[in-house]
């Protein structure tokens, strides 16, 4: 089981990664498209377009920053491992070669 720097186990809820990179990118395009589109269309269609913005947040599964963190986790999943021992953490490639 993976642990934090303080030795506590990492909870599964702290994971923002998606199941695949293309699916994660599709959610991003849909979410950011709805948010930007709803705001950009206000001068043409009025405030009736604003309810699309919360739908964009649903597509992103929360805040846009969480989506970006999830993208980084999805890309690195299975490629990097973080190991902490005695207050010192190292980042290693999945094959065991240290990278810093």
Taking only the tens place, the pLDDT of each residue in 17-31 is 777 889 999 999 999
Establish if 55 belongs to a structural domain.
yes
Which pair of tokens denotes residue 65? 């920053």
Domain residues for the domain of 67 are 18-93
- Tell me the percentage of the chain whose pLDDT exceeds 90: 35
Q: How many domains, in total, are found in the chain? A: 1
Establish if 7 belongs to a structural domain.
no
What sign results for the dihedral spanned by CA atoms 32, 60, 68, 63? positive
Taking only the tens place, the pLDDT of each residue in 30-64 is 999 999 999 999 999 989 999 999 999 999 988 89
Establish if 12 belongs to a structural domain.
no
Per-residue confidence (pLDDT) for residue 16, from 0 to 100: 72
pLDDT tier at 10 (50, 70, 90 boundaries)? low
Distance, in Å, from the CA atom of 8 to the CA atom of 27, rounded to the nearest integer, reads 32
Which pair of tokens denotes residue 16? 């923002």
Contact 51, 39 (CB under 8 A): no
Q: Helix or strand or coil: residue 60?
A: coil
């Amino acid at each position: 089981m993976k642990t934090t720097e303080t030795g506590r186990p990492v909870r599964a809820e702290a994971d923002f990664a998606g199941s695949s990179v293309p699916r994660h990118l599709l959610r991003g395009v849909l979410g950011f498209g709805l948010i930007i589109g709803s705001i950009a269309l206000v001068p043409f269609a009025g405030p009736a377009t604003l309810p699309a913005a919360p739908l964009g947040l649903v597509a992103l599964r929360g805040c846009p920053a969480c989506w970006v963190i999830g993208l980084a986790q999805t890309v690195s999943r299975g490629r990097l491992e973080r190991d902490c021992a005695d207050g010192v953490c190292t980042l290693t490639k999945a094959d065991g070669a240290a990278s810093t």
